[in-house]
Structure 1
């Protein structure tokens, strides 16, 4: 081995001018011990042999042997007969790293917004495969074979093209497919030129916050309760947030004060209550935006799944003054890890929005854009949505039936005609903590509406997702919850 070839993934330094063997042993020992303590040498990692290390560092082998012996004696390294020594697992190191991570939340070097990034609904709880978690569609009914075939076709086509950077706004064939899809499925008036592809709806919110907020000045109205990542994106951009109550007609538009410049709403299926913004409120919201020179962000995250009559027109379709940014996603209709969303951007903001997208994320990956474009263009998305609608509808009916019978003494369903979740008010707020605790135990994945609120809700409620829970598993779970509540 060359004396210049590194044997560790970090530099080992010796004093210039030539140390004696004792000093070199001490310095090697100290640097290896420091690397073990701070995790650069991970537990279980094999150390180079003494011969390897000596040759790579250009020092005597006896120096390396002596340094290794010290590490072994101190418990940092474990010897193995006939094999290389390995780094030991150290409680001290784990404690040091955990403490460092705990302290990081208050570090003044961080943006104040992220020193204690609270308020985001948790999705990290361990849940059984069939559960009541919100926002997750069922993978078992997805046309995996078709997606694999389209993926193979896209890879073959990609392999024959020169490397390059695709447009920040998305490849033309996907934007064309999205424009036709939302025009057909949601009556959204747009062309391919109006579409900007994003890495999911969450990136869309982040980009819109960057585009529309002047830090410390712009007042942004958000629903209360509402989708926490939207609130977080605008807060991080420096907006002055205004929480506006939601009732059975959606956002209480009459409570919007003068001076609001951006209004974020989920009009088709309010997140998380599930109510639809009434036609009266839609008209009032558009009137407010015109009178106060405000813009509206319309988040239509799962509006494709409807179970009642004809859906109310999208705000974007009713808008005559180009004040609505329409945000869509494929996370609910297809699958979350696809990470593809889009924004229908008014013409006056298009170039600026594309510039913000380019700075934040030069472009979405070309291959999955191509696959998604073909999936939409060939009619597979429309067919998949049609197939899944009755599946989800049956689960929704089973959930409603259980809420109206098994849990009627405690819960009152909130009217909802769309999406993959519904909510139920807790009839007696004094029992809310007990009911929520029992629900988490017996209907895993269900959430308190408080997880979506900036303040303690006046009317506590539970939210149930039915994207991945089997129809025949819903009634038994609700029955168990009833029995637990009856038992006290």
Structure 2
């Protein structure tokens, strides 16, 4: 890779080189301790005499902008603390589009700049109980597989071994009935939603979603031009009768409603399938964390009940393993799967093949099943600790909604509580709490907390929640006085 320097004319070559490197260092384009090319190599790249480069380097050394080390090379030593970038506004022609994305950013719950010592963040799996050694071995296997195919693009639908392994996994754990040809490997579940949205959504297309529901899906569908309609949920799941007749896409989380936690009843599932077939809609079944189940009967996936070809099943490894892997998948009727492959090819061609080979081996070796069983026991312990405190110390303040899967719960306030103030005070004590209001779009949100326990230490749960109780007492006392 060549250092970007432009030589104009044949006058003062050394001065041109000096000025451009000096300005690159001052502007921050060349950073502290960054190596620059040897004078002989740079002279060859620029097509100039080596002396011209050597003279420029001598001046920069004198100015304490670069330093040379025998046997190591030449490095930047006087870089600016931070780059100075020119302030350039975007062209007027795109300002309307940029405004739209700015509005989306305002509606999106921002990632917390830092995590508290005890943090009940949702969607974050346990990072300390993963089979790291086994995964490392699988990654090396993936590297070896990629070496044989280096320089070639992979299959858009995904590595065949992984599709076969994930089909077996989905059939084993969720009763999914499909072939590897119906699966497309994606960069997380979010890309799976994006692919389906690009296939179905035109400007103004009606998309029905659970209310409350997953903000990332709602914002994505809105960005694609959809008119998103929130449909209320009750103890049996989405109110099928309230789904608009003009809906072309219906997004649901039937195994473990997000965020409230209840499973969709069998009768409601059947009614949903029949309505989707009647109105000509596609159902997205987002099965984001149902591998972790603690009680009750296992429910059928919508996909396994589908006799009409209307369900697209979406899964992810972000919750069952770790989110930075960025592996998700969709399982769709053949025509939709074929369209998804075409859309993905236009989007990013294919997902990382090395990780796919590694994951395929991890599953084939039985490590995924062992990992799920291991962390399910850990999550169950954390869940029980949360239930115990909310059943005693916090019983007068909150009611936990019943749920039998995943690794988050919702607590609804039983009395008038300023949730925003509670969250702020808890964060001041290094306890991370999260409001339920972020998951509501059209309906008025009830006062409540969204409690994730995938990444919180079990021994820290009770002391942290007791401190939350103390904060609530202090807030109540201040109201009375």
TM-score category (smaller protein): 0.7 to 0.9
CA distance in 2, matches of 1:30, 1:158: 44
Aligned to 2:177: 189
Structure 1, unaligned runs of 5 or more: 1-5
The reply to whether residue 338 of structure 1 matches residue 325 of structure 2 is yes
Matching residue within 174, 179, 189 for 2:162: 174
Distance change in 2, residues 1:147/1:50 (3 Å)? closer
Post-superposition Cα deviations, 1:307-343, rounded to whole Å, max 9, x if no partner, equal 1111222111222101010001111112222221111
The answer for the alignment partner of 1:3 in structure 2 is: none
Partner residue, 2:29? 40
Give deviations 1:277-304, integer Å, cap 9, x for gaps: 2333323322221221111101000001
* 1:423-442 per-position Cα deviation (integer Å, ceiling 9, x unaligned): 11123355222223234445
Q: Are residue 422 (structure 1) and residue 409 (structure 2) matched? A: yes
CA gap 1:393/1:54 in 2 versus in 1, 3 angstroms: closer
- 2:208 alignment partner, SS class: strand
Q: Which of 369, 393, 397 is 1:382 aligned to? A: 369
Q: 1:110 to 1:198 in 2, by over 3 A?
A: same
2: CA distance, partners of 1:158 / 1:466? 36
The 8 Å contact of residues 429 and 459 in structure 1, kept in 2 or not, is answered as no
Distance 1:84 1:319, change over 3 A: closer
SS in 2 for 1:133: coil
| 1:109-166 residue CA offsets vs partner (Å, 9 max, x unmatched) | 8555424441333334311565322112213222222222333344445445575333
Query: How has the CA–CA distance of structure 1 residues 50 and 423 changed in structure 2, closer, same or farther, with 3 Å as cutoff?
Result: same
- Does structure 1 residue 322 correspond to structure 2 residue 328? no
1-structure distance, mates of 2:27, 2:53: 26
* Superposition pairs of residues 413-452 of structure 1, within 5 angstroms: 413-429=400-416, 431-442=418-429, 444-452=431-439
Cα gap change, 1:400 to 1:115, in 2 (>3 Å): same
SS at match of 1:206: helix
Contiguous gaps of at least 5 residues in structure 2: 476-481
Q: In structure 2, do the counterparts of structure 1 residues 53 and 114 end up closer, same or farther at CA, with 3 Å as the change threshold?
A: same
**CA pair 240-33 structure 1, distance change in 2 beyond 3 A:** farther
3-state SS, counterpart of residue 317 of structure 1: helix
Change (3 A) 1:414 1:85: closer
Contact 2:165 2:364 in 1 (8 A): yes
2:4 is matched with 10
Counterpart contact for 2:31–2:76, Cα < 8 Å:
no
Indicate conservation of the 8 Å contact 2:232/2:239, yes or no.
yes
The counterpart of 2:224, out of the listed 237, 244, 248, is 237
Contact 2:158 2:184 in 1 (8 A): yes
Task: Tell me, yes or no, if the aligned pair for 1:155 and 1:367 is still in contact at 8 Å.
Answer: yes
- Residue 121 of structure 1 corresponds to which residue in structure 2? 109
Change (3 A) 1:48 1:250: same
2:249 corresponds, among 262, 266, 271, to 262
Separation (CA, whole Å) in 1 of partners of 2:273 and 2:92: 40
Equivalent residues in 2 for 1:32-71 (5 A)? Answer: 35=24, 38-42=27-31
- From 391, 410, 431, the equivalent of 2:397 is 410
CA distance in 2 between counterparts of 1:266 and 1:178 reads 19
Partner Cα distance (1:212, 1:198) in 2: 17
Q: CA 1:109/1:87 → structure 2, altered by over 3 Å: closer, same or farther?
A: farther
Q: Distance in 2 between matches of 1:168 and 1:397?
A: 43
Q: Which residue of 2 aligns with 1:152?
A: 140
CA-based RMSD: 3.6
Q: Residue 105 of structure 1 contacts residue 115 of structure 1 at CA under 8 Å; is this kept in 2?
A: no
Shift of 1:234: 1.5
1:205-225 deviations in Å (ceiling 9; x for gaps): 1111111111x1311122232
Q: CA deviation at 1:359?
A: 1.6
Tell me the CA shift for residue 236 of structure 1: 2.3
Range with greater deviation from structure 2 (204-213 or 292-301):
204-213
Asked whether the equivalents of residues 249 and 282 of structure 2 are also in contact (C-alpha less than 8 Å), the reply is yes
CA contact (8 A) 1:43 1:88 kept: yes
- Report the CA distance between 1:30 and its aligned residue: 7.0
Output the TM-score relative to the length of structure 1: 0.83
Relative to structure 1, the CA distance from residue 335 to residue 413 in structure 2 (aligned partners, 3 Å threshold; closer, same or farther) is same
* Alpha-carbon shift at residue 409 of structure 1 (Å): 2.4
Counterpart of 1:476 in 2: which secondary structure? helix
Matches of 1:51 and 1:348 in 2, distance apart?
59
Does residue 465 (structure 1) correspond to residue 452 (structure 2)? The answer is: yes
Question: For 1:139, what is the secondary structure of its paired residue?
Answer: coil
Structure 1: distance between partners of 2:113 and 2:375: 26
CA 279–62 in structure 1, closer or farther in 2 if over 3 Å, else same? closer
Aligned length: 467
Change (3 A) 1:61 1:423: closer
The correspondence for 2:294, drawn from 281, 302, 307, is 307
More displaced 10-residue stretch of structure 1: 385-394 or 238-247:
238-247
Paired position in structure 1 for 2:266: 279
Counterpart contact for 2:313–2:331, Cα < 8 Å: yes
Judged with a 3 Å threshold, the aligned counterparts in structure 2 of structure 1 residues 174 and 280 are, in CA distance, closer, same or farther, namely same
Note closer, same or farther for the CA distance 1:104–1:34 as it changes in structure 2 (3 Å cut): farther
Residue in structure 1 matched with residue 479 of structure 2 by the alignment:
none
Aligned to 2:29, the other structure's residue is in SS state: coil
